[in-house]
Chains A and B, each alone.
Chain A
Amino acid sequence: MIEGLVGLAAMMVIAFLRVPIAYAMGIVGIVGYAYMRDWNWLVASAMVQTKIYETGRNYTLSVVPLFILMGSFVTRAGMSEELFRAAYTFIGHLRGGLAMATVWASAGFGGICGSSIATTATMAKVAYPSMKRFGYADQLAAGTVAGAGTLGIMIPPSTIMVIYGVFTETNIGKLFMAGILPGILGAILLCLAIVCTTWRHPTWGPRGPRSSWAERGRALKDVWAVAVLFLFVMGGIYGGLFTATEGAGMGAMGALAFAVSRRALTWRTLYDALLESARTTAMLFVILIGALIFAEFVNITTMPKDLTTFVSRFAVHPIMVVAAICAIYVVLGTAMEELSMVLLTMPVFFPVIVHLGFDPIWFGIIIVCVVEIGLISPPVGMNMFVLKTLLPEVSTGTVFRGVMPFMWADVIRLAILVAFPIISLWLPRMMR
């Protein structure tokens, strides 16, 4: 137990000194592993060789670059504009309607893109200027974009679900299905947060003009391709037509065809999309390999077993354990990069969760929900940094204050998802 704790603490200290988190996990993993084997560096280096080599050529993991590529193509195809317009024609005339349209457009975009950061970045370019044009308060407009962007990782496809799935050997297709209802629930709660905010400050989100049904029909026609792409990929995985990896490949191909048909792709942007996806992939895999090496070390300490025994000896209610884990994540998530946080703690928490009889799929959804909170929680919410870079005229303080109601909405959703696992598990259970 002590070795595991010392390892975790050492890793945090090294990472705090600005060492890339992946490297910090790797260093502690190697040294810790050697220590546990009586300073046998030969065994430690054999372990490292295996981890690097096997992670590099793991077929299941090829789903990661393909989904990233799909998101990259879709972002360049510029669908966010149409999605926003379609949502706007339906609810733009409500108070705070543009903000709600941003939420639903982000949800729609999340259905073809697996990254919250990309979703936020895209919506910032489309939705923020429109909201400003209609006289929305900075605080509400910026907060909405950052908050709604988090839906990108809950609504499938989702990069973090894929990596969780691989790391814990949970079925990725089922994880994707499990994310759909919590994603919709999230969008509803974010809209409620907007309703509350505009109820308290009616001038922050003025009504837009009402659209006619003809306009609505026309706007919907522009987004059919997004719906087709989503249904094709998710339906294919759901119906067992293809595996998650194949679905990702088909989706990327569809997104490419889509971008080409919209004339949104030049050789230059094609290369940019490919290169950006390749770099993101490499960055994620470095973290993954670092975490796997660290996990090897944690697994040979007594820590996972001790924690499980500890939990069962004290007969704490299982839900209390989940609540404690969520609390730890929310606190860690304020300071740490989210994927590393999840991978770092997984070898410790996952055995406990399984031991308590929880469904790994449900826990995956809880993790994604916690990560979403981490993405918008100060001081290092990634989504807010993205927004800050894209909208330099908005002060960080304004973004932080603006995102608060949405953070609370996400916390409430977390509580709902913990209390009612069926919301996450109903769809995957219907899968064959």
Chain B
Amino acid sequence: MSAPAAGWERRVEVVLGVAASLILLAMMLLTFVDVVARYVVNRPVRGAFEVTELMLLVLIFAGLPLVSFTDEHALMDFIDRLLGRRAQRWLEGAVQVLCGALMLLLAWIVWLKADRIWAYRDATDVLRIVYGPFVYFMAVTIGLAGVIHLYKAVELTRAGARR
């Protein structure tokens, strides 16, 4: 019954994973080309600085849902040893709901910021790249991380019901 769900999870994971990987590769190449160009042909890449900044932003926020998806956030789990299996699952579910709620709240807050930045058409100094879409992207991926947390909470209760 979770087959279609597993399908969309996988697709989102692949899209974000490929995006983050390509961005990281591009960041490395850009830095390399920038330094080499500065020393060899005495002409650094125009606006490399700004592009790197924006790439970092995409890298981090494409990575965020991936980290939530694979449960890689650093946490302290000794409490597991004090709780029975049922209580453990309850707590874990509650934590996922809390995390999901927090992320959705943050997504909304960042979306408001994006609206403002877009309205002013804020752009980078050299290349005049408009910031707006990038901030919307942040809001979307933060929201996606929130949805993933909530989805995990649902999965936990389902697993509990099956038992």
Contacts and interface: CB of A to CB of B under 8 A. Distances in A.
Interface of A: 15-23, 26-27, 45, 48-49, 52-53, 56-59, 61-62, 65-66, 69, 241-242, 245-246, 248-250, 252-253, 256, 271, 274-275, 277-279, 281-283, 285-287, 335-337, 339-340, 379-380
Q: A interface, by DSSP: helix, strand, loop or mixed?
A: helix
Contact of B56 (A56, A335, A339): A56
A21 B75 contact: yes
12 contacts: A21-B76, A22-B74, A23-B73, A23-B99, A49-B109, A49-B113, A62-B31, A249-B31, A253-B32, A278-B62, A279-B63, A286-B73
B9 to A, nearest CB: 16
Contacts of B59: 65, 278, 281-282
Contacts of A58: 53, 56
Contacts of B53: 57-59, 62
A386 to B, nearest CB: 14
Nearest to A61: B56
A340 B67 CA distance: 16
Nearest to A70: B28
Contacts of B62: 278, 282
Q: By CB atoms of chain B within 10 A, which of A15, A26, A277 has the most?
A: A277
Interface of B: 17, 20-25, 27-32, 34-35, 39, 49, 52-57, 59-64, 66-67, 70, 72-80, 91-92, 95, 98-99, 102, 106, 109-110, 112-113, 134-135, 138, 142
B60 A250 contact: no
B75 A53 contact: no
A57 B57 contact: yes
B27 A246 contact: no
Contact of A278 (B21, B52, B76, B112): B21
Contacts of A65: 24, 27, 56, 59
A196 B4 CA distance: 60
Given A48-B109, A65-B59, A245-B31, A19 B24 contact: no
Given A16-B76, A22-B74, A283-B74, A249 B57 contact: no
A16 B106 CA distance: 22
Given A57-B53, A66-B31, A250-B31, 7 more contacts: A18-B80, A19-B99, A53-B113, A65-B56, A253-B28, A281-B63, A339-B74
Given A49-B112, A275-B17, A66 B27 contact: yes
Given A23-B102, A283-B67, A53 B138 contact: yes
A15 B75 contact: yes
Contacts of A19: 75, 95, 98-99
Main SS class of interface, B: helix
B56 A48 contact: no
Contacts of A57: 53-54, 56-57, 134
Given A52-B106, A56-B56, A282-B66, A275 B21 contact: yes
B105 to A, nearest CB: 9
Contacts of B135: 53
B91 A18 contact: yes
A285 B61 CA distance: 9
B76 A18 contact: yes
Nearest to A56: B57
Contact of A285 (B39, B60, B110): B60
A18 B27 contact: no
Nearest to B61: A56
A281 B24 CA distance: 10
A17 B91 contact: yes
A256 B25 CA distance: 10
Interface-central residue, A19, A58, A335, by most chain B CB under 10 Å: A19
A203 to B, nearest CB: 36
Contacts of A23: 73, 98-99, 102
A278 B64 CA distance: 9
